[in-house]
Amino acid sequence: MDSFNTKAVHGEKLPTSIRSKVTPIYQTSVFSFDSLEELEGYYNGNSPYLYTRAGNPNSDELASVTARLEGAPAGVAASSGLGAIMAAVLAVAKSGDHLVAARDVYGGTFFTLKEELARMGIETTFIDFEDELAIESAIRSNTVILYTESVTNPFLRIENLERLAGIAKKHSLVFIVDNTFATPYFVQPYALGADIIVHSATKYIGGHSDVSAGVLCGKEQYVDAARSRIVNIGLNLSPFESWLACRGAKTIGLRMQRQSENAQKAAEWLKTHSKVKNVFYPASLSDKGNGAIVTIHLAEESDEFAFFRSLGWIQIVPSLAGVETSVSWPFGTSHRSLSQAEKTAVGVSEKTVRISIGIEDAEDIINQLNKALDKA
């Protein structure tokens, strides 16, 4: 008979006949084997899981749902959006290589490409991607990646992915597209020629502001190489975070539909307010809607501190994509690490407000924004 501590540790094995409706959380760091033959089976490809850093059913589920939604053949999950971006870039680039990236990429991406990759001997040239001639002339013999976002932050410029895919193909570059803002509900870059699609699943794929996660998908050869980086560097996503992101992903269609309807109404209303100088909201992102982010410049004479103080239940959060409407201040958060010159080049000022529209009732969102604008 086992003693106390042994009894505490060795519970009954669950019968394999238990069939839970949703995927359980495989909260385990490692998987067990009944025999050396079975262990050998892992290395022969007969059994999928050995060690969670190398693969876990929950992170695989997140990868496969994202790849399915994106119409891409393969995917892999990563610890965060930046983890996925690093894995995608390092799947292709090595020391001595060069990237051409859009100047207005997400602030964290800009900093990572500029600083962290430079430390690894990978240089990035940032270009205004509206200028295709400038892109072509920035491409060198050691350029290996063309990097952009399908919809940019915070001014929601819609990238012409097909044209860029053509440039990438012409110069044999791997075309990486961050599809976080657009989501696969509105835009599917793979069909437009992207080789790798990266996501911060922290945003719309998770959708509930309760998980930091990343995922990338695309051509199998690149996804396989990215998986190797993730496993070897330790950029894997935990089982629980994967499970949460998968739960969120189930409702992405419903959320995006509702949030973009609300955003459309809010954008139209904001254009009529005297305290709003400019409204940035895409006119034709997709035939399903134009996304859930609306960015504004407050009027020059407005008081942004008063605006941010008067938002009621709209929270100030330096992120986006939850089911609650929230606002962020790019000047002091996502674009904080940019120099003043870089901020000016991108167009971010103290008056810039990015609004992430939620699933509330549109008239209530507009009422809350109206109260804050009246105080601004």
CA–CA separation, 77 vs 226, rounded Å?
10
* Cβ atoms of 218 and 196 closer than 8 Å: yes
Residue of 60, 104, 149, 241 interacting with ligand PLP (CB under 6 A): 149
Q: Which is nearer to ligand PLP, 108 or 332 (CB)?
A: 108
CA–CA separation, 104 vs 279, rounded Å?
18
Number of helices (H) and strands (E), helices first, in the chain?
Answer: 15, 12
**Dihedral sign, CA of 43, 49, 51, 56?**
positive
Residue of 65, 69, 74, 82 interacting with ligand PLP (CB under 6 A): 82
CA–CA separation, 152 vs 150, rounded Å?
6
214 binds ligand PLP, rule: CB under 6 A: yes
Q: Which is nearer to ligand PLP, 82 or 139 (CB)?
A: 82
Minimum Å distance from CB 101 to ligand PLP?
Answer: 12
Minimum Å distance from CB 223 to ligand PLP?
Answer: 18
Residue of 56, 200, 242, 302 interacting with ligand PLP (CB under 6 A): 200
Minimum Å distance from CB 58 to ligand PLP?
Answer: 17
Q: Which is nearer to ligand PLP, 269 or 281 (CB)?
A: 281
Q: Which two tokens stand for residue 220?
A: 């199998």
Q: How many CB atoms lie within 10 A of CB 306?
A: 14
Residue of 23, 41, 64, 108 interacting with ligand PLP (CB under 6 A): 108
Minimum Å distance from CB 244 to ligand PLP?
Answer: 13
66 binds ligand PLP, rule: CB under 6 A: no
109 binds ligand PLP, rule: CB under 6 A: yes
Residue 316 identity: I
Minimum Å distance from CB 168 to ligand PLP?
Answer: 19
Residue of 180, 209, 295, 352 interacting with ligand PLP (CB under 6 A): 180
CA–CA separation, 123 vs 113, rounded Å?
8
CA–CA separation, 273 vs 299, rounded Å?
10
CA–CA separation, 278 vs 112, rounded Å?
30
CA–CA separation, 231 vs 224, rounded Å?
11
With CA atoms as reference, report the closest residue to 215 among 260, 251, 252, 246.
246
Only one of the segments 77-85, 113-121, 277-285, 335-343 lies at the binding site for ligand PLP (rule: CB under 6 A); that segment is 77-85
Contact partners, residue 30, CB within 8 Å, separation at least 6: 50, 51, 52
Residue of 60, 97, 178, 241 interacting with ligand PLP (CB under 6 A): 178
Residue of 31, 106, 190, 243 interacting with ligand PLP (CB under 6 A): 106
Residues at the interface with ligand PLP (CB under 6 A): 80-82, 106, 108-109, 149, 153, 178, 180-181, 200, 202-203, 212, 214
